[in-house]
Amino acid sequence: MTNLQYIFTYLIPTGIRELGNNFRMWKDLMTGNYADYALLKEDDPFEECRNWFFYGINADETYPKEFLEYLQELCDRIDKGEEKLIPVTIEDLREIEELLDVGED
């Protein structure tokens, strides 16, 4: 991946998408259209919208060029059969969850 490819196929589209998301959240804050931001009954929709807005303007959702190149190379090796994939079932995930004692308390 060249620097120009990285900029025009990844950085610019990602930046535009994030600006659009932030503008939408700002518009929702200004117009009082934040009811859909509350996921739980005890959540305050305004606070959730405001928190997402401030998170969005501080977040950097872009990845370095080197990391993307690594992912592309890894996908190519998987397609060629050079990398072995280990399938994971739901039962495997449940066992891992039990081992880590992760759950709702």
pLDDT in tens, 17-72: 999 999 999 999 999 998 888 888 899 999 999 998 998 888 777 889 999 999 99
**Could you give the 3-state DSSP secondary structure of residue 105?**
coil
pLDDT the model gives residue 105: 52
Q: Measure the N-to-C terminal CA separation of the chain; round to a whole number of Å.
A: 46
| Predicted model pTM | 0.58
Cβ-in-10-Å burial (0-12, 13-18, 19+) of 102 comes to exposed
| Residue located via tokens 């939408």 | 24
Query: For 7-43, b where at least 16 C-beta lie within 10 A, e where not — what string?
Result: eeeeeeeeeeebeebbeebeebbeeeebeebeeeeee
pLDDT the model gives residue 77: 93
| pLDDT-derived band at 84, boundaries 50, 70, 90 | confident
pLDDT the model gives residue 85: 86
